[in-house]
């Protein structure tokens, strides 16, 4: 990317643009002509029923998989067109909070958070220590620096993973189902951290979740995905006003509606008893 292109990208109000995205796995179409944008400096949520490809969308944005058609642009760069070095450089500008935290079990809290700095920089140990303690302090766990992952509660482990995700001062912070398995207090802490870190650090946050109430509390905008397309988008609090039956079913948590409970399968009776036919 040239200097002029970098300047143009920096002034673009959207840091992620997806156009005409098509992607499928094992003959199943996950995205069919999907269009969406992530505004720079905001918290944007991707919501939808399980199996709609929310995590896969994150993998497309980070270049772990490539689209079958369409474009995934991050800060003006076509992710699928980047070589190894370009993709590596782009990923260094991103932080990722995985669903299960993904802490390294044989390293203590301090070294888990320090790991990206040791891998990607040549900073002296004294400076790494200062940065790590600063990030742990931001998530309220400076006093837990010497603990091992097995000594942490689920909520603490998620916060350590968040400290690691921000240790490289990313421009884009990605959360994959950050609320799963948290008690009410830990959930409240994580919600506050998502909002405060986004605003204090001046970054862009992308949150994948199916927790409607939590997303409504923290996100500036949201996309509701289902059937490979965007069912609704806008402020989370306004999605419930949609006339779509699919949107209403998801936002209200209704068990019955157009979104099926069962994954597509052959006829039940035929599958059970077909082999008994003479």
- Token output for 61: 């944005």
- Residue range of the domain that includes 215: 15-90+209-278
- Token output for 111: 């070294």
Residue 105 lies in a domain: no
Q: What is the pLDDT of residues 7-16, one digit of tens each?
A: 455 578 899 9
Decide: pTM greater than 0.95.
no
Residue 29 lies in a domain: yes
The predicted pLDDT at position 120 comes to 87
Residue 3 lies in a domain: no
CATH for 244: 3.40.50.300
Separation CA 18–CA 127 (nearest Å)? 38
Residue 169 lies in a domain: no
Q: Are 112 and 160 in contact (CB under 8 A)?
A: yes
pLDDT mean over 148-163: 90
Residue 145 lies in a domain: no
Q: Are 81 and 241 in contact (CB under 8 A)?
A: no
Strand partners, 230: 225
Domain count, the chain: 1
Q: What is the pLDDT of residues 206-262, one digit of tens each?
A: 998 877 778 888 899 989 888 788 888 888 777 767 776 666 666 666 565 555 555
The Cα-based distances of 87 to 59, 175, 196, 266 in angstroms read 13, 19, 28, 41
CA angle at 17 for the pair 11 and 19, rounded to the nearest 5° = 140
Top-confidence range, 52-56, 166-170, 231-235: 166-170
The predicted pLDDT at position 272 comes to 76
Residue 140 lies in a domain: no
Residue 183 lies in a domain: no
Q: What is the pLDDT of residues 80-118, one digit of tens each?
A: 999 989 998 998 899 988 877 789 899 999 999 999 999
Residue 243 lies in a domain: yes
Q: List CB contacts of 205: < 8 A, sequence separation 6 or more.
A: 42, 43, 44, 172, 173, 174, 175, 194, 197, 198
Residue 9's nearest CA partner among 249, 222, 17 is 17
Three-class DSSP category at 210:
coil
């Amino acid at each position: 990317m040239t200097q002029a292109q970098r300047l143009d990208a920096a002034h673009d109000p959207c840091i992620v643009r997806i156009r005409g995205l098509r992607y499928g796995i094992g003959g199943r179409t996950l995205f069919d002509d999907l269009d969406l944008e992530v505004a720079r400096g905001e918290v944007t949520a991707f919501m939808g029923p399980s199996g709609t490809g929310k995590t896969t969308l994150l993998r497309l944005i980070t270049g772990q998989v490539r689209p079958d058609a369409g474009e995934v642009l991050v800060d003006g760069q076509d992710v699928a067109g980047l070589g190894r070095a370009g993709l590596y450089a782009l990923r260094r500008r991103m932080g990722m909070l995985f669903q299960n935290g993904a802490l390294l079990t044989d390293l203590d809290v301090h070294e888990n958070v320090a790991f990206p700095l040791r891998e990607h920089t040549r900073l002296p140990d004294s400076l790494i220590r200062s940065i790590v303690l600063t990030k742990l302090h931001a998530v309220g766990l400076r006093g837990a620096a010497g603990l091992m992952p097995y000594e942490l509660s689920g909520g603490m482990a998620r916060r350590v993973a968040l400290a690691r995700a921000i240790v490289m001062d990313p421009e884009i912070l990605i959360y994959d189902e950050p609320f799963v398995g948290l008690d009410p207090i830990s959930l409240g802490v994580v919600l506050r951290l998502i909002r405060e870190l986004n605003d204090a650090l001046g970054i862009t946050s992308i949150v994948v979740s199916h927790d409607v109430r939590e997303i409504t509390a923290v996100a500036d905008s949201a996309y509701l995905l289902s059937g490979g397309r965007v069912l609704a988008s806008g402020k989370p609090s306004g999605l419930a006003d949609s006339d779509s039956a699919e949107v209403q079913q998801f936002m209200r948590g209704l068990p019955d509606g157009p979104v099926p409970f069962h994954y597509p399968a052959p006829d039940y009776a035929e599958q059970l008893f077909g082999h008994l036919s003479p």
